[in-house]
Structure 1
Amino acid sequence: MFSISQSYKKPNIIYILADDLGYSELGSYGNTFNETPHLDRLASQGIKFTNFYAAAPVCSPYRAALITGQYPARVGIVDYLRPNSSERLDTTHYTIAEMFRDNGYYTGIVGKWHLSGYVKSGAPKEALPDKHGFQEVLLSENQGISVGPYWHPYQFNLDIPKKMEVEHEFLTDRQNLEALEFIERNQSKPFFLYLSHYAVHTWSTGKPYLVDHFRKKKGAGTSPASGNNTENDPYKNWPEDVRATRNNPHLGAQLFSIDEGVGMIMDKLKSLGLDKNTIIIFTSDNGGETRVTTNAPLRGGKSMLYEGGVREPMIIWNPQLFSKNRIETARLVNFDFYPTFMEIINAKKNTQQLDGISFAKLLKNPEYEMPERTYYWHYPLESPHFLGGRSAGSILKGDWKLIEFFDTKEEQLFNLKNDAFETTDLAAKNPGKVKQLSEELKQWRSKLGAKTTVTVKN
C-alpha cells in the first residue's frame, strides 16, 4: 500500500501534457538547441523516465487512454477525431476526473480535450470535459483544432474573451495564467489539474522575440514564409521558419513558453506552501512531427508505431514523497496513471475496467520491480496518415517488438535490447518469434473486439 505521511493532506496532482513533443526535445533528454531550464530542474529534483509509452501515436486515443485507464481499442477511439466526427468519449466511462471528484478532489482542465466531435463543426452530438467530471473547464475547444494560430481570438473557441493586458495574447501564456489562477483559487482543498497544452502542435508559431532568439542560435533551421502570409506577419499562420525541419525556432519558442509556465507553477506552489504536497507530472501525448523536428535517436515520429512515435519524455516531481535526481528505466504506459493515482490517494474502489497497473510503489522505492507484462498498440487507418504513419498494430514483449502493417501484411521484428533505435528488421531471421508474437497480438485484438479494417466516421 502506498502511504502518505499523516502530516500531509491528500496530495494535489498537476498533470501537464505537451502536444506532439518528441522524446528528445528537452535538455534533460539530451537536447542542446531548445532551452528548458525549469523542466530540467523538475527532472533533477524528481524522477526522469526513459521508457514511458503513449498508448497510441496520435492525440485522441492517447487522451482516451489517460482519461479512462483503458486501451484505446477498448474505448473505441483509435485515431484522432475529426471536428465533425460522430465519435466521442462516451459518458458511460468512469473517468479519471470523476474518480478524483468522487474522492474529495476539485477537478479542472486548462486547454485541449480532443475527445469529441463538435456541434459547431457539424458533429451530431458532443461530450466535452464538463460531461466527464471536470468541474472547471478553461480554454478548451468547442470546434475544430487545426493549424493555429496561437493568438487571440482563438479559432478553436471564438467564445473565449481576451484576458491578458497585452496587444497580442499568446495561447500558451494564457494557459499558464489560467493554471496559476486555478491553483490560487483552490489552494485550500485537494485538486486535480489537467494542464493540456495545445503547443507544440504544428504549425508551431512562437512569440516573435523568442523566435528571434532561437533564430540566432547556431544550427537554427530556416524556411520561407508561405501560404497566405507572404508578408511574413508573425501573428498569422505560416511565418518565416515555421516549416524548418530541424532546430525549428518556432518550436523552440513554444517549448520555452511551456517551460516558463512550469517554472511559474513551481514558484506559485512554493509561495502558497503547497510544494511539499503537490505532485507534478510532465509528459507528451505522442512523438514529434517529423516535418518540424527529429525524435533521434529514436526511429520515426507522430503517427508511427516505431519508438519515435510512442516513447515519450516523462517526469514526475515531488521531492518530499519520491526520489530526487533519479533515472527510471521501467516500462510504463500512460493508462497506468489511473490506477497509480487511485493508489496514491487511497481512492474508493470502482467498477471501471482498468488495463493499466499502478506504479505508485515504484515511485517511492527505486528497488521495486514492476511485474512483467506485454504491451500492445492498435492503430487501424482507412488510409495512410499525412505524416507517413500506416495502418498497423504492435506488440512489445521482453526485448522483442513486432510491428504488423495491416495494409500490406508486412511484419517487422526488432530486438530493443540490442537495437533500441530499430535499425535492423530481424523478421526474416526469426520466423518463429514473428509467428509467436503475431499470434499473441491477434489474440489480444480478438479479446477486445478490435478490427484491423476501419471506416472513418463523420
Structure 2
Amino acid sequence: MTAHRRPNIVILYADDLGWGDLGCFGADDIPTPHLDALCRAGVRLPRWYSNSPVCSPSRASLLTGKYPGHAGVESILGGRRDTPGLPAQPTLASLLRERGYRTGLFGKWHLGADAAFAPGHYGFDETFGFRAGCVDYYSHIFYWGEHDPVHDLWEDEDEVWRNGEYLTTVIGDRAAEFIHRRASEGPFFCYVPFNAPHYPMHAPAEHMERVSHLPPGRQETAAMVAAMDDAIGEILRALEESGVREETLVLMSSDNGPSRESRNWLGGEEISYTGGSAGGLRGSKGSVFEGGIRVPGIISWPAQLPAGTELGQAGMMMDVLPTVLHAVDGADPALAGIDGISLLGLLRGDADDMAATPTGEGVAHRPHGPERSLVWTYQGQWAVRRGRHKLVVDAREGMDPPASIEVALYDLEADPAESVDIAAQAPEVLAALEEELAAHRLRAASRG
C-alpha cells in the first residue's frame, strides 16, 4: 500500500468577488486566465457558499469550521487598533501547525485589529498584510468611520511601510516567496486572503488599459480582478517551479457577493461601487439572497481530484476545515464542535453513487451527496437551503434595510434568480424548512 502523502494547502480568498466575476463562472468581459486554468485543472463548485453575506463572519467560518455565531463573529469588525476579534479557539492554521505544517497568512485578516487578536495568535507562523476590513491599495491606510485615518500594514507584529506599492501585487509576491522558501522543508499552509476587488477602487494603469472597453465601475472592478488573477498566477507558478503542484490542494473562493455599497470617501464624496456581478443571481453583499452568499468556488489537487469536473453538492466555507484535515490525515477527522463536513469523498467520487457522468459539454458532473440543511443569518435576515429548496425570512437586497421579502420559498434549481415564490404550491416543503430554521435558531440560542 502506498504511504499517505500529506498535501500542501493553499487557500486563495477574494473579497467581494461576485458569482459572475470570473471567466470560468460566466464573465466574458474580465480576463482571468490563471483562475480559468485552475478551474479546468480541478473541480468547479457551482453551488458553493460563504457562511455570511459579509466579510468578518465568513472568514471566521473558514478558519474555524463553524457557523459564524458558533465561532463568535457575527458582524463586520471595525478597524480601530483596539478592536477585539475572533475568540480564542482552534483554527485551521493551528490544527495544521499541530500536524507539522509551516503556516503563513498574506493579505487581509479582519478578525481583530487589536494586537492581542493578530493572526499570529491563531496558528500562523508568518504573516504579512493588514488587520482591518479595507485599506487604500497604495498607501495602505484605513479610512473608515468617525476616527482619523490609520496606517495598517504589518509584518508579523511589526508595522511596515510599502508606500506606493500596489497591495494586490505585493500580497501575491509575498505568498509566492513563502512557497519557494518552504516547499523543500515539508508541508505548508499558505492562506492568501486578497482584499481585491473590495473598495476603494484602485487598479494599476496597465490593468485599466486591458479592460478600457468597459464602462466606468465595471472597468475598475475588472482591472482589480485581473490584477488579482495575475497575482494568483505568480502563486501557482511558485508551486510549479518548486515541484509541489501535484501534491498541493488549492482552493479559491470569495467571502461574499459583490458590493453595492455607497461610502463617504475623502472630501465627503459619496461613491457607489456597482461594478461587481452576481451573475444573474438576486441580491448582493449583505443579503441572504443568492447574490450575497453564493460565490465562485474552485478546488484543485492534481494527485487526488479529477480535472474538469463539477460538484453537484452544495457546500460552505465551514466545510473547508474538515475537508482539508481529511486530506491531510487520510481519514475523516473526528472534530468536536465543528459544523462543517468533509466533502473530500464527494470530490474524489469515493462513494458508489458518486461516479462521474460525462455530459454533452465534456464536463463530468458529480451528483449530490446526502441532503443537509445550510443556514444563513445576518442582521435579522434568515435563510435555509435543503436540496433544491430555499426559504428566506426578512431578506433584503443588500447591506441596507428594509427587507424586501418577509417570507418566501424558492426552487433554486428551476429558479436560481429567486424570482418566483412557490410557498403556496409547496406548503409541506415550506413547513419543513420553517421547522429546520426554528431548530437552528434554538441550537444557536442554546450555544449562546
Contact 1:376 1:393 in 2 (8 A): yes
Cα deviation for residue 154 of structure 1 reads 4.3
C-alpha distance in structure 2 between counterparts of 1:347 and 1:149, whole Å: 42
Amino acid aligned to 1:40: D
Query: Distance in 2 between the 1:450 and 1:50 partners?
Result: 33
Is the partner of 2:10 in helix, strand or coil? strand
Q: Name the SS of the counterpart of 1:313 in structure 2.
A: coil
Change (3 A) 1:186 1:377: same
* 1:323 paired residue number: 306
Moved more, 402-411 or 43-52: 402-411
Hey, what's the Cα distance between the residues in 1 that align with 2:372 and 2:247? 32
- Structure 1 residues 150 and 280, CA, compared in 2 at 3 Å: closer, same or farther? same
Q: State the number of aligned residues.
A: 398
What is the deviation of 1:76?
2.8
Quick check: 1:186 aligned with 2:187? no
Match of 1:157 in 2: 152
Q: Check whether the contact 1:69–1:339 (CA below 8 A) recurs between aligned residues.
A: yes
For 2:301 and 2:84, locate their aligned partners in 1 and report how far apart those are by CA, in whole Å.
37
1:288 corresponds in structure 2 to 258
Question: How do 1:261-280 and structure 2 match up within 5 A?
Answer: 261-280=231-250
Which structure 1 residue ranges, 5 or more long, are not aligned? 120-125, 223-243, 382-390, 453-458
Q: Distance in 2 between matches of 1:192 and 1:70?
A: 20
Cα deviation for residue 297 of structure 1 reads 1.5
Call closer, same or farther: CA 1:89–1:433 in 2, change over 3 Å. Answer: same
> Residue 297 of structure 2 aligns to a residue in which SS?
strand
Q: Which moved more, 1:362-371 or 1:127-136?
A: 362-371
**Closer, same or farther: CA 295–64 of 1 in aligned 2, 3 Å:** same
TM-score (norm 2): 0.83
Secondary structure, counterpart of 1:181 in structure 2: helix
Residue 392 of structure 1: how far off its partner (Å)? 0.4
How much has 1:43 moved relative to structure 2?
0.7
Tell me if 1:196 matches 2:193: yes
CA RMSD of aligned residues (A): 2.4
2:342 corresponds to = 358
Q: Closer, same or farther in 2 for the Cα pair 1:422/1:134, shift >3 Å?
A: same
Partner residue of 2:283 out of 300, 315, 324: 300
Residue matched to 1:210: 207
What's the secondary structure of 1:56's corresponding residue? coil
Structure 2 match to 1:229: none
Rounded Cα–Cα distance in structure 2 between residues aligned with 1:34 and 1:327: 22
- Structure 2 residue matching 1:273: 3-state secondary structure: coil
| Structure-1 separation of matches of 2:406 and 2:438 | 14
- Contact 1:401–1:415 (8 Å) recurs in 2: yes
1:5-16 matched pairs, under 5 angstroms = 5-6=2-3, 9-16=5-12
**Secondary structure of the corresponding residue to residue 173 of structure 1:** helix
Mapped pair 1:395 → 2:390:
no
Listed one character per residue, the Cα deviations across residues 283-305 of structure 1 (whole Å, up to 9, x for unaligned) are 11111113222213211111001
User: CA separation in 1, counterparts of 2:340 and 2:140?
Assistant: 39
Report the alpha carbon displacement of residue 436 of structure 1 after superposing the two structures with TM.
Answer: 3.2
For 2:328 and 2:153, locate their aligned partners in 1 and report how far apart those are by CA, in whole Å.
37
Deviates more, 1:416-425 or 1:30-39: 416-425
Letter in 1 for 2:224: Q
Q: Give the corresponding residue for 1:43.
A: 39
Residue 133 of structure 2 corresponds to which residue in structure 1? 145
Say if 2:153 and 2:161, in contact at 8 Å, map to a contact too: no
Aligned-partner residue type, residue 193 of structure 1: C
Cα distance change on mapping 1:62 and 1:450 into 2, 3 Å:
farther
| From 301, 318, 330, the counterpart of 1:335 | 318
- The answer to whether 1:132 aligns with 2:142 is no
Could you tell me how far 1:429 is from its partner in structure 2?
A: 4.5
CA contact (8 A) 1:162 1:169 kept: no
- Tell me the secondary structure at the aligned position of residue 175 of structure 1: helix
Percent identity over paired residues: 30
Q: How far apart, CA to CA, are the structure 2 residues paired with 1:214 and 1:371?
A: 43
**What are the superposed Cα offsets for residues 213-257 of structure 1, whole Å, 9 maximum, x if unpaired?**
312x2xx122xxxxxxxxxxxxxxxxxxxxx2xxx1111111111
Shift of 1:338: 0.9
The 8 Å contact of residues 359 and 370 in structure 1, kept in 2 or not, is answered as no
| TM-score normalised by structure 1 residue count | 0.81
Rounded to whole Å, the distance in 2 between the matches of 1:76 and 1:317 is 30
- SS of 1:280's partner is strand
Q: 1:158 and 1:9 mapped to 2: Cα distance?
A: 36
CA-CA distance at 1:51 after TM superposition: 0.4
Structure richer in strand, relative to its length: 2
Q: Alignment partner for residue 250 of structure 1, among 196, 220, 239?
A: 220
Give the deviation of 1:415 after TM superposition: 1.3
Aligned-partner Cα distance in 2 for 1:338–1:104: 16
Match of 2:434 among 431, 434, 438: 438
Runs (5+) with no aligned partner, structure 2: 143-150, 261-273, 356-365, 396-401
Matched position secondary structure for 1:312: coil
Matched, 1:62 2:58: yes
- Over residues 298-343 of structure 1, what are the superposed CA-to-partner deviations in whole Å (9 max), with x where a residue is unaligned? 1111100111111111111122221011122211111111111111
**Does the 8 Å CA contact 1:68/1:94 hold for their aligned counterparts?**
yes
- Kept after mapping to 2: 8 A contact 1:445/1:451: no
Does the 8 Å contact 2:219/2:275 carry over to 1? no
Question: Does the 8 A contact of 2:284 with 2:292 survive in 1?
Answer: yes
Indicate how the Cα distance of structure 1 residues 339 and 135 shifts in structure 2: closer, same or farther if over 3 A, else same.
Answer: same
Q: CA offsets per residue over residues 18-74 of structure 1, 9 Å max, x none?
A: 001001111111111100001101111111111011111110111111111111121
